[in-house]
Amino acid sequence: MDKSLDLEGKIKAAHDHLRSCVLCPRNCGVDRLNGETGYCKTGKYAVIASYGPHFGEEQPLVGKNGSGTIFFGGCNLSCRFCQNYDISHEVRNGREVDQSTLATVMLELQGQGCHNINFVTPTHVVPQILGAYRHARDRGLDVPLVYNCGGYEKTETLKLLDGVISIYMPDFKFWDETSSTSYSDAPNYPAHARDALREMHRQVGDLRLNSRGIAEQGLLVRHLIMPNGIKESDKIIEFIATEISRQTYLNLMDQYRPCGTINDFPELNRSLTKEEYQAALQSAHTHNMQRLDSNDFRLLLKRLINLDD
């Protein structure tokens, strides 16, 4: 099936969900078309907090000209350690945009040479993205779309993006429900994240690069290693290795810093240690993961060389 032929149906189905919103696992049931808002605090229109070429993402997305990031206000997670609290939880300083305006932003980023359009925190605005994509495509958009999410997704909603999103970049944050409940107010996060990764990989497969090393299609997974969290990291890496693909592009992130409202959790009130990061790298090596982000790969090599000394 030519997936692009079905775009109108996908837009309609997604839009209909806004009447009694069950787009994500929160299942708020609110009428977002008539002024109600749910957990994500977002109504009929997407809110853009900021946008522009971004050079801090993974190298296959950044290339020479940057990744065209669009940061949305609102979020369906409440991570206590969130670094964007004012954007994600309070939806401050954003601008509501209709689909045509969102399309214009996408085209502006393409016009600046960005290698892709990178939707950051997109889960609660899937209908708006689909509608904007139709406008942008008709006006000449042809760079890949990146779905850069927290991993708290519904498979049914992801299916509406099949054939539209080229690159999925989910976080996989927690393996244990106790952690996801305490730190992100999402008891059923782990199961939804696992199902999301399966569906994303089914749609786009392992990450493929063009001859210039720029990502064209596929799955990248990010995992933020948490203080005292290596057991969960190991489970997550094992899951990716055995149930998704050992060729999954995996970024093990070591930049955890206490912020947001994390003071209530003493176990998370410090940065990651070097030993914890090295333990996560060792886990990736043990599970025979083949494609670590270049920074992780360099450090793993260094560690293995030192072990051999």
The pattern of x and - marking residues 167 through 206 that bind ligand SF4 according to CB under 6 A reads ----------------------------------------
Name the minimum Å distance from CB 283 to ligand SF4.
Answer: 32
The nearest distance, CB 10 to ligand SF4, in angstroms, is 16
Q: What is the size of the binding site for ligand SF4 (CB under 6 A)?
A: 13
Our finding on whether 230 is near ligand SF4 (CB under 6 A) is: no
103, 24, 181, 255 alpha-carbon torsion, rounded to 10°: -20
Selected binder of ligand SF4 within 11, 15, 38, 236 (CB under 6 A): 38
Q: Give the residue among 177, 223, 239, 190 at the shortest CA–CA distance from 58.
A: 223
149 pairs with which residues across the strands? Answer: 170
CA dihedral of residues 243, 248, 254, 259 (deg, nearest 10)? -70
95-97 and 46-54 beta bridge pairing: antiparallel
d(CA 275, CA 155): 36
Q: Is 28 a residue that touches ligand SF4 (CB under 6 A)?
A: yes
Determine the residue with CB nearest ligand SF4.
38
Q: Residue 28, SS3?
A: coil
Residue with tokens 């009130």: 269
Of the candidates 54, 85, 84, the one whose C-alpha atom is nearest the C-alpha of residue 68 is 54
Nearest 5°: the CA angle 218, 189, 216 is: 10
- With CB under 6 A as the contact rule, which of the stretches 32-40, 62-70, 140-148, 180-188 interacts with ligand SF4? 32-40
If one asks whether residue 24 binds ligand SF4 (CB under 6 A), the answer comes out as yes
Among 10, 14, 15, 23, indicate the residue that binds ligand SF4 (CB under 6 A). Answer: 23
Site for ligand SF4 in 68-97 (CB under 6 A): 76
Residue with tokens 């009447």: 19
Stretch of residues binding ligand SF4 (CB under 6 A), selected from 18-26, 166-174, 189-197, 256-264: 18-26
Q: What gap in Å lies between CA 16 and CA 61, rounded to an integer?
A: 32
- The pattern of x and - marking residues 110 through 139 that bind ligand SF4 according to CB under 6 A reads --------------x---------------
CA torsion through residues 80, 242, 159, 105, sign? positive
For residue 53, the minimal CB distance to ligand SF4 (Å) is 28
DSSP summary character for residue 6: G
Only segment of 25-33, 143-151, 196-204, 227-235 that touches ligand SF4 (CB under 6 A):
25-33
13 binds ligand SF4 (CB under 6 A): no
Which residues lie below 8 Å from residue 101, measured CB to CB, with a gap of 6+? none
Among 10, 26, 80, 194, binds ligand SF4 (CB under 6 A): 26
Positions in the binding site for ligand SF4 (CB under 6 A):
21-24, 26-28, 30, 38-40, 76, 124
